[in-house]
Structure 1
Amino acid sequence: MGRYLLRRLLQLVPVFIGSTFLIYWLVWSVPGDPFAGKCGERRCPDQYVAYMTEKYHLDQNVFVQYGNYMKNLLQGDFGQTFSQRDIGDIIATAYPNTLKLALVALAIEAVIGLGAGILTGLRRNGFLDNLVLVSTLFLLALPVFVVGFVLQWLLGVQWGIVKPTVSSEMRFSELIVPGFVLGSASVAYIARVARTSIAENRRADYVRTAIAKGLPMRRVVGVHLLRNSLIPVVTLLGTDLGALMGGAIVTEGIFGINGIGREVYRAIVTKESATVVGIVVVLVVVYLLMNLLVDLLYAALDPRIRYE
């Protein structure tokens, strides 16, 4: 186990370097003047342009720029925006809000999606099975912004059950509806994957053997069937955390949440390339760590998997 963990950690290093370099190169290669609009309607003075070009190493090739960026990043310095705002402070302010929203969405996915998948997988072709299939197809067909606006208008404006926007305190009760909106598509995917996995494993030899031994159905499902059926679901849930954080732009905009998504949108609009790179680097780290956690959970769920 220890050797496997060390090997996986070493594998993450080239993946991290390759992905962050690609992101850095793509963001800073966007055509256009990076200083356009930074001095209002007038053109920026030559002294300002020369100073900022030297500060961000824009007069050097992309490999030198990336090397300087990574050297500062390893020291905890994400750099500054063109307006001299510390990017680390932006991430520290917005990241906890998006993380909290993403975790709520992930919990909703696990509870609703997995619960629906288990029930329909055990009782296929019934009323509940057909209801879940139609509901998940409906969620997959609707864009996130449609689900968000409909729930905001219906639950917040018409019925007054929840507040239309989230307050700065980010209370859990305020995040349930935005969390469902953010994870609505993933709820449908997880429900369908769990249903298929459980239905397939229910016909496996080890399940029939457990039933033939006279084990209670609750133990057969909870210990034998569910553990082996959870592997594809865990894969989806593990990789979905980074996707939820990166794809929260629409949800945060609808419910007024000051998170990573809104900061990325602002940075793209104002051409703050350094901010975009810094935020995406954090999301890359989340993706890599969650994939590592998923790999470690495999053996706990399926004893046939061995690391050594």
Structure 2
Amino acid sequence: MVRYVLRRLLQLIPVFLGATFLIYALVWALPGDPFAGKCGQTACPQSFVDVMTAKFNLNDNIFVQYFKYLGNLFTGDFGETFSGNNIGQMIGDSYPITVRLALIAVAIEAIIGVTAGIITGLRGNPFLDNLVLVVTLVLIALPVFVTGIVLQLVLGGDGLGLINASVSADPTIGELIIPGFVLGSLSMAYIARLTKTNIAENRRSDFVRTAIAKGQPRRRVVGIHLLRNSVLPVLTFLGTDIGALMGGAIVTEGVFNINGIGGLIFRGVSEKDGATVTGIVVLLVIVYLMVSLIVDLLYAVLDPRIRYD
């Protein structure tokens, strides 16, 4: 196992370098004036252009720029925006909120989605099957912002008055439950259908019939044999979804006025602030790579047939 982990960590290095270089090149090597619109309606003075060009190493070729940026990144320096704001500080203020939101979304989609999939996959009740099918189709068909606005209207001040339309600047876990549900609603529908399909398929497998023939209790057959083997595709989906939720929370954070990483990405793109976009996306790449490694290691825990030599 240790050898496998070390090998995977070494494999992550070229993936990290390739992904981050591609991001950096796409942001900074695009044609056009990087200072357009940075000084309002008038063109930026030459003194400002010269200072910013030197600050962001824009006179160097793209490879030199990238490795200088990477060197600063390894020291914890994410750089500064064109307006002089520290990107690391901005990420430090916003990222914990988005992490909490994403983890709540993953927990909600895992608990509700897996539970719905298990119940419908085991019982085969036509009413439950049709109910889960209709609910998941509705969640898949509705855009996330529509789900968020509907819940705001129903549960907010003009409706039941259970939640505030906007969360506070430093939201608590309770304030993030509804936004987390909205953020994870689409994935929750996919997880419910994926779990149901795997449960229904593995019910007819030889290892389940053997466990039943040995007289093992139904709870052990379902929990140890059936569920552990059926949850592997769900675990893969959840692992990749964590990074996607943190990077794709722009709409949800906008609907509930959450000061998270999604707002930083949106402002960075709209203001053409390449330093901010690059720093955030590089951080998301690291999250993706580490989560994928953790998911691979969990395979061996859930399925004893998987061994890493």
TM-score normalised by length of structure 2: 0.98
1:39, CA displacement in angstroms? Answer: 1.9
Could you list the structure 1 runs, at least 4 aligned residues long, displaced by more than 6 angstroms after superposition.
none
Superposed CA offset, 1:265-305 (max 9, x none): 00111111000000000100010010000000001111111
1:168, CA displacement in angstroms? Answer: 1.9
Q: Which residue of 2 aligns with 1:116?
A: 116
Distance, in Å, in 2 between the alignment partners of 1:59 and 1:145 is 42
Superposed CA offset, 1:234-289 (max 9, x none): 00111111000000000000001000000010011111100000000010001001
1:229, CA displacement in angstroms? Answer: 0.7
Where structure 2 has 5 or more consecutive residues not aligned to the other structure, the ranges are none
Alignment coverage as a number of residue pairs:
308
Higher mean C-alpha deviation, range 165-174 or range 284-293: 165-174
Superposed CA offset, 1:152-199 (max 9, x none): 111113111111111123111111110011011100111111111111
Q: Which residue of 1 aligns with 2:215?
A: 214
Higher mean C-alpha deviation, range 162-171 or range 251-260: 162-171
Q: Matched residue of 1:183: which SS?
A: helix
Q: Matched residue of 1:57: which SS?
A: coil
1:235 aligns with 2:251: no
Distance, in Å, in 2 between the alignment partners of 1:190 and 1:29 is 39
Distance, in Å, in 2 between the alignment partners of 1:51 and 1:185 is 46
Distance, in Å, in 2 between the alignment partners of 1:81 and 1:154 is 40
Residue 129 of structure 1 aligns with an amino acid whose one-letter code is D
Matches within 5 A, 1:184-203: 184-203=185-204
Q: Which residue of 2 aligns with 1:248?
A: 249
Higher mean C-alpha deviation, range 189-198 or range 124-133: 124-133
Q: Which residue of 1 aligns with 2:165?
A: 164
Q: Which residue of 2 aligns with 1:173?
A: 174
Distance, in Å, in 2 between the alignment partners of 1:65 and 1:269 is 23
Q: Which residue of 2 aligns with 1:261?
A: 262
1:33, CA displacement in angstroms? Answer: 2.0
Q: Which residue of 2 aligns with 1:33?
A: 33
1:30, CA displacement in angstroms? Answer: 3.3
Superposed CA offset, 1:63-112 (max 9, x none): 11101000110111101101111100010001001000000000001110
Identity %: 65
Question: Is the 1:123–1:129 Cα contact (8 Å) retained in structure 2?
Answer: no
Question: Is the 1:97–1:258 Cα contact (8 Å) retained in structure 2?
Answer: yes
Distance, in Å, in 2 between the alignment partners of 1:166 and 1:29 is 38
Distance, in Å, in 2 between the alignment partners of 1:55 and 1:237 is 40
Q: Which residue of 2 aligns with 1:280?
A: 281
Q: Which residue of 2 aligns with 1:103?
A: 103
1:91 aligns with 2:91: yes
Q: Matched residue of 2:231: which SS?
A: helix
Q: Which residue of 2 aligns with 1:300?
A: 301
1:29, CA displacement in angstroms? Answer: 2.8
Distance, in Å, in 1 between the alignment partners of 2:182 and 2:31 is 34
1:125, CA displacement in angstroms? Answer: 5.0
RMSD of Structure 2 on Structure 1 (CA): 0.9
Distance, in Å, in 2 between the alignment partners of 1:284 and 1:124 is 40
1:43, CA displacement in angstroms? Answer: 1.3
Where structure 1 has 5 or more consecutive residues not aligned to the other structure, the ranges are none
Higher mean C-alpha deviation, range 125-134 or range 284-293: 125-134
Distance, in Å, in 2 between the alignment partners of 1:213 and 1:90 is 59
Distance, in Å, in 2 between the alignment partners of 1:19 and 1:123 is 45
TM-score normalised by length of structure 1: 0.98
Distance, in Å, in 1 between the alignment partners of 2:92 and 2:297 is 28
Distance, in Å, in 1 between the alignment partners of 2:262 and 2:202 is 39
1:51 aligns with 2:51: yes
Q: Which residue of 1 aligns with 2:78?
A: 78
Distance, in Å, in 1 between the alignment partners of 2:29 and 2:170 is 38
Higher mean C-alpha deviation, range 57-66 or range 1-10: 57-66
